[in-house]
Amino acid sequence: MFKKLITLTLATALLTSSLSFVSVHAATPQDTINENLEKYQTLDNQILELNSKIEDLDVEIDKTTIKLNENNAAIEDIEDEIKTTEAKLEQTKEDIDEAQVVLDNRVRNMYKTNMTSNILVSIITSKSISDLFSKVQAISKIVSTDKQILSNINEKKVELDLTIETLNTKNSELVLLKNTIEEDLKTIEDKKAEQEQYVEQLNSEKEAVFSVIEENEKLLISKPLSIANSSSASVSELQSAIDTLNSYIPLLNSSTTINMAKEGISNAKAKISELNAPSIPTTGTTVGEAIKTLSMESTAYYGHGITASGLKPVRNPDGISTIAVDPNVIPLGSKVYVSGYGLAIAADTGGAIKGNIIDVYLNSYEECMSWGRRQVTVQILEYP
């Protein structure tokens, strides 16, 4: 009754907690995720503790089972010994019966042959005192031997009866011990089954909690994910979505949402590459063949009066603009095409422009901030 009450109490508690786990309240997705992660961890700790107890019960079951098997083996040995002793007892009874028959026959023969008279005759006809004593001694020995045989057999029977009684008592004790061990084993197995049922219920609760976590993680990444998968997003918007998704991935717990974020990043990168791919301008400007293609880092600047070539920097999206380069990488005066920027002349240099980096000229501070720092493809073009 007490166990049933405990089980009912646990079930009620689990049902109550289940309702609280799946409740939706006015909170940010991250708040909901954090709250349910705590509940998930609590459930996980409870399951670990129960599994540890189940392992202890398994050890106890093994020990009890070994004890039961040893006891059963002892019972079998006692039963075999009882059977063997009973067989010996039956043989002894047969020996007693046979000895009794021999004695009975001997007595009957004595009467039939008037052995008493024969004994007297033997005594009277003795030739000497020594002969007389020899004959009397022989007759006494016959009688004494018969009595001894019968006495020995009876003693053996008594001994076997006592042995059987002792074995039966020991067997009864072992049977009683067997019943006790079986009851103990059943109690342990019932307790293990109860613990396993509780673990199963907790695992169900974990699944419910994790579903809440997963749904809120999907909600958390939904905005940058929609931008990453959008066909109308700009390069800066796509890059921002990539950065946001990358920052979320270490915080995500569901493999489903992690894969969704990674797929969104992959899609956004593909769209950026597509947007940055070189394209032939729609103006009448002659482009020329690319003689070298470089993958470079790009920054932006504005407001300079005169370039290193002595010319005024320009930004003309429909024509040719100005960029600053490291002359050791791109010679001054080179005609280039920059992905996402357009045609330009490498007409300027800069103190920070060293190595695999260019600085594109733009018309305002706001445009420079929007451009930021990015990876671009630079094609050095052949002059027509």
pLDDT 10s digits, 71-92:
788 878 878 887 887 787 788 7
Which domains, from first to last, does the chain contain?
A: 28-203 (1.10.287), 212-274 (no CATH), 290-380 (2.40.40.10)
pLDDT 10s digits, 252-275:
889 999 999 999 999 999 888 877
pTM of the model: 0.43
Could you give the percent of the chain with pLDDT greater than 90? Answer: 23
Average pLDDT over residues 28-50: 84
Residue 117 has pLDDT above 80, yes or no: no
Per the DSSP assignment, residues forming a β-bridge with 377 are 295
Q: Are 346 and 325 in contact (CB under 8 A)?
A: yes
Identify the H or E element spanning 358: strand 357-361
Q: What does 19-77 look like in DSSP terms, one character per residue?
A: HHHT---S--HHHHHHHHHHHHHHHHHHHHHHHHHHHHHHHHHHHHHHHHHHHHHHHHH
- pLDDT-derived band at 17 (thresholds 50, 70, 90) equals very low
Please state which of the ranges 106-115, 164-173, 221-230, 367-376 shows the lowest mean pLDDT.
106-115
- The length of the chain in residues reads 384
Residue 294 has pLDDT above 50, yes or no: yes
CB atoms within 10 A of CB 335: 19
Average pLDDT over residues 132-140: 61
More confident residue, 319 or 375: 375
